[in-house]
Structure 1
């Protein structure tokens, strides 16, 4: 019994053994936990593949919806509005009648002018036609009558001359017969000349005078007709009625087409606007990329998720500066068959200025800097446990969230877009493409 007591190990040895077992178990547990954390961290690291793609390049700008043409419709002369045929919101075609002005004071002048023209034309026709056959015959008969009267007067004179020489009549009777003969001769001459005029017809100057009278009458009638036509108010171009300023019975006056709504309220009849266009302000750094005909995609806050297509139709030759920011107005057409866009709406415009073909691209967030060089962390194809390799790269254009890689990478390689602890990127590489890149606010990829 005493021998068994002697073989029992000392208590300190047991304590040391227990402590060793606890320490060993803790180490094993710590190693397992650490290994699991490292594996979890590796699983959380995200990568992206270097791609070779065709990269669309767009220039973005803010703009507004504006009508291509906008006028205030008013009469050419002051007067009372008689009838209005359209209302606000109506779409009208070029030449369509919009309203009628009171024309009662012009109708009488029109009838009078018609009568004056008819009279002038009848006179011209008479002058051009010459004298009638009956008039000529009457003049011929007058000549024959006057010739017979002259023959009779000549015989009487000859008889009285003989009687005077024989002393049968006195000087007075002789002179009377002489005067009668001369008077008959003069009358014959007059009738012969009248016959010649009848046969010759009208003189050229009489015809020209009659023609001039017709022209004058036609001009007076055309003036009245134009004034009557001006009382019919027509649409100068196709568009939509945006405002009504007057009702039938109101007195309206001529106004300039570009008058403001306030000044036109008391004088114009309607405001007419044509099809809408988009007016965008493009930054000075991007204007060189905008060309006529460039496609544009328009989005309005009023219609989320919906876009409208258009094309550049005009580029301003003069810049505008607002709060020290220089920009150029760029006008674009817009396809809006349902007339959803309204004048004054704010829109965002993306101009498709071109495509970078067959370029290598990586997410911009993958770019980091180490030792003063820009590059990326590349996942190698060797052991998973190996740390990612930093590789310097040369970058090109930055289009929204993509950056073009000019050298340093190959298609198919994988780069980190989330970084291990302590290897967060210090800064992103700025774009070398003029007017594009972080902070430029000019371009987006679609």
Structure 2
């Protein structure tokens, strides 16, 4: 029994086993991952600009259309009658102007009368052009190549002029350009300063994680949203094969520059109130706690802007379970990950909010 006690005392004198890793200089580039939303590159809802009855609807949801293609026609008797009246008036004013010109050449009318006739002819011609434009609004055409995504009306429906207010008007169709997408990504303040137009990104969807699509940052709003403090970033993505459905949530990965710093495993950090410490080893293999400033923390790795130096050994998973200046037995950690399981015989980490009992004895 005395021999076992001596061995136990020697074992305890060496201190508990702890996992350690070295603090290293952080990379100048890093991979940042975000959630985003895929939206149609262009989308518009079409309304009628004249009142009338929907005469013909030539497309339906899912149909692909070309720019200028006729989508629907509206029957508006009032518009037709106004056009015929303007046409007759323009013809009459033109004939009057021609007769006045003939009389003016023979000096049978005054110059003022002639000028008035010429002006009336021009005004009536302008009114005819306006009625012709109004008449063309009876035909609804596609504004760009795209896909019909919504249809709101059927033939025979009464449609209202939506020029003044769209709230009371019945929409006709919605069309979207889906062969190219805008990926909306919102970056927080920490990432916003590193995002640049032209940066290459990778996009994937959860349903097909192995399918990676490449795009580039095309637009940056340039200002953080006042409410969310997030920066809107748009990515243009070719979607010619409809590989991503517009409206889907996507995963975005991009390479961003990074400020210099020291990188350590996240579970080497210890929180005490509002202060953050890193558990480190001194030259005598004694545990110490250095107050640090954390600039980034992914949950696996933390970037330290001040407090420790490159090459220092940090201890993982100790929390508040071991007192400062306790001698420990360091074990180099092959994979210093935050979720790693402590080695057998190592100190068990304790939550910073609920520290473990004081003492450094390790039971076997």
Question: If the TM-score is normalised by the length of the shorter chain, which range does it land in?
Answer: 0.5 to 0.7
How big is each residue's C-alpha offset from its partner over 1:100-151, in whole Å with a ceiling of 9 and x where there is no partner?
222566456545533432332233233324478xxxxxxxxxxxxxxxxxxx
How big is each residue's C-alpha offset from its partner over 1:45-99, in whole Å with a ceiling of 9 and x where there is no partner?
9876665452434665544334466443121122122333333224445554322
How big is each residue's C-alpha offset from its partner over 1:165-220, in whole Å with a ceiling of 9 and x where there is no partner?
xxxxxxxxxxxxxxxxxxxxxxxxxxxxxxxxx5x454212211220221232133
Give 2:45's match in structure 1, choosing from 72, 85, 92.
72
Give 1:330's match in structure 2, choosing from 232, 246, 252.
232
Aligned residues, how many?
307
C-alpha distance 95-355 of structure 1, shift in aligned 2 (>3 A): farther
Are residue 421 (structure 1) and residue 345 (structure 2) matched? yes
C-alpha distance 411-229 of structure 1, shift in aligned 2 (>3 A): farther
Give 2:302's match in structure 1, choosing from 403, 417, 442.
403
C-alpha distance 362-62 of structure 1, shift in aligned 2 (>3 A): same
Does structure 2 retain, via aligned residues, the 8 Å contact 1:120–1:213? yes
- What residue is the counterpart of 1:151 in the other structure? none
Q: Tell me how far apart the structure 1 counterparts of residues 277 and 101 of structure 2 sit (CA, whole Å).
A: 104
Are residue 270 (structure 1) and residue 243 (structure 2) matched? no
For 1:226-305, what aligned pairs fall within 5 Å after superposition? 226-236=133-143, 239-255=146-162, 267-274=170-177, 276-280=181-185, 282=187, 286=190, 289=193, 293=197, 295=199, 297-305=202-210
Does structure 1 retain, via aligned residues, the 8 Å contact 2:51–2:76? no
Q: Tell me how far apart the structure 2 counterparts of residues 345 and 205 of structure 1 sit (CA, whole Å).
A: 69
Give 2:119's match in structure 1, choosing from 212, 221, 224.
212
Q: Which runs of 4+ in 1 moved over 6 A?
A: 256-260, 411-414
Q: Tell me how far apart the structure 1 counterparts of residues 115 and 165 of structure 2 sit (CA, whole Å).
A: 47
* Higher gyration radius (CA): 1
Larger deviation, residues 215-224 vs 57-66? 57-66
Does structure 1 retain, via aligned residues, the 8 Å contact 2:262–2:309? no
TM-score (norm 1): 0.53
Structure 1 residue 277: Cα displacement = 3.2
Give 1:313's match in structure 2, choosing from 216, 220, 230.
220
How big is each residue's C-alpha offset from its partner over 1:361-398, in whole Å with a ceiling of 9 and x where there is no partner?
343345679xx9633469x9xxxxxx967576667544
Give 1:56's match in structure 2, choosing from 29, 41, 44.
29
Q: Tell me how far apart the structure 2 counterparts of residues 356 and 287 of structure 1 sit (CA, whole Å).
A: 11
| Structure with greater strand share of residues | 2
Q: Tell me how far apart the structure 1 counterparts of residues 280 and 164 of structure 2 sit (CA, whole Å).
A: 62
C-alpha distance 67-80 of structure 1, shift in aligned 2 (>3 A): same
Give 2:243's match in structure 1, choosing from 321, 325, 340.
340
Does structure 1 retain, via aligned residues, the 8 Å contact 2:51–2:159? yes
SS in structure 2 of the partner of residue 305 of structure 1: strand
Q: Tell me how far apart the structure 2 counterparts of residues 116 and 79 of structure 1 sit (CA, whole Å).
A: 24
- What residue is the counterpart of 2:359 in the other structure? none
SS in structure 1 of the partner of residue 100 of structure 2: helix
Structure 1 residue 349: Cα displacement = 4.3
C-alpha distance 245-225 of structure 1, shift in aligned 2 (>3 A): same
Structure 1 residue 317: Cα displacement = 5.4
Structure 1 residue 237: Cα displacement = 5.2
Q: Tell me how far apart the structure 1 counterparts of residues 221 and 209 of structure 2 sit (CA, whole Å).
A: 27
SS in structure 2 of the partner of residue 54 of structure 1: coil
Q: Tell me how far apart the structure 2 counterparts of residues 313 and 89 of structure 1 sit (CA, whole Å).
A: 31
| Structure with greater helix share of residues | 1
SS in structure 2 of the partner of residue 344 of structure 1: coil
